[in-house]
Amino acid sequence: MTAHDIEKALEVWTLQNLLNLSILLGLLATALALSGGYFRTLEKHLTLRVSQEAWRLGNVVMVDILLGAVVLIGYVVLNPDIMADIKMGVPFCPIATVLFAVALVLRLFYGGQDPASPNHLRSLKLMVAACVANVIGFTFVMEAASDEFLAHHPSGFWTFVKTQFRSNADPAGLDLAWITYNICFPILVAIAIWGVWAGLRNLSSSGRE
């Protein structure tokens, strides 16, 4: 094995684990966001107003940080070269990244972190839908039944899933990965532009006040 082969293997291993980590972080962020009522119940046991505000702020910021990490990792792996190297469930994982990105913009710039805002429920629904897409992509595609298992327990379903919906499957998966990239990447760029515009608009409004 040459140095180039080792370098490539390390790159693939790192990127694959980053994608796996982002799926777990998305689940954690969604669980924390859905547990808002539980955290507000715990908040009542805090006696100092300062500690209550710090507790509330910490919960909100933690969800947003996790969402930001998920979206950034999703952006990193959403390109044809990486999608051809690692096993990604397409179109499920890229769709999840898009949904998480919209939820993040709603939370950061449209009051989605405030339980009283209608965008709060919208962002939660987007996050739950993204988690469902990721779970399907991870469980049924990325970690589908192995070749060793299929050798003893043939299954048309698992064979079809592995050959059609894995981004590194040749050739069917690569075709779907390319189609997914051409659809999801421009949408992700548009969401990024939307987020920048919303951020600048909020800053301009704050400056006038």
Q: What is the DSSP string of 35-83?
A: THHHHHHHHTT--SHHHHHHHHHHHHHHHHHHHHHHHHHHHHH-SHHHH
- Contact by Cβ (8 Å): 75, 104: no
pLDDT in tens, the chain (209 residues): 788 788 889 999 999 999 999 999 999 999 999 987 665 665 665 665 545 566 566 788 999 999 999 999 999 999 999 999 999 999 999 999 999 999 999 999 999 999 899 999 999 999 999 999 999 999 999 999 888 888 888 899 999 999 999 999 988 778 999 999 999 999 999 999 999 999 999 888 766 66
Q: Cα–Cα distance between 8 and 46 in angstroms, integer?
A: 51
Structurally, the chain folds into a number of domains equal to: 1
CA-nearest of 18, 19, 33 to 134 is: 19
Question: What is the domain range of residue 108?
Answer: 3-208
> Which residues are within 8 A (CB) of 110 and not within 5 positions of it... i.e. 6 or more apart?
117, 119, 198
pLDDT value for 39:
59
pTM over 0.85: yes
> Which residues are within 8 A (CB) of 42 and not within 5 positions of it... i.e. 6 or more apart?
55
pLDDT value for 109:
96
Determine the number of helices (DSSP H) and then strands (DSSP E) in the chain. 9, 0
pLDDT value for 50:
46
The token duo for 121 is 């429920």
pLDDT value for 36:
75
The token duo for 64 is 């947003």
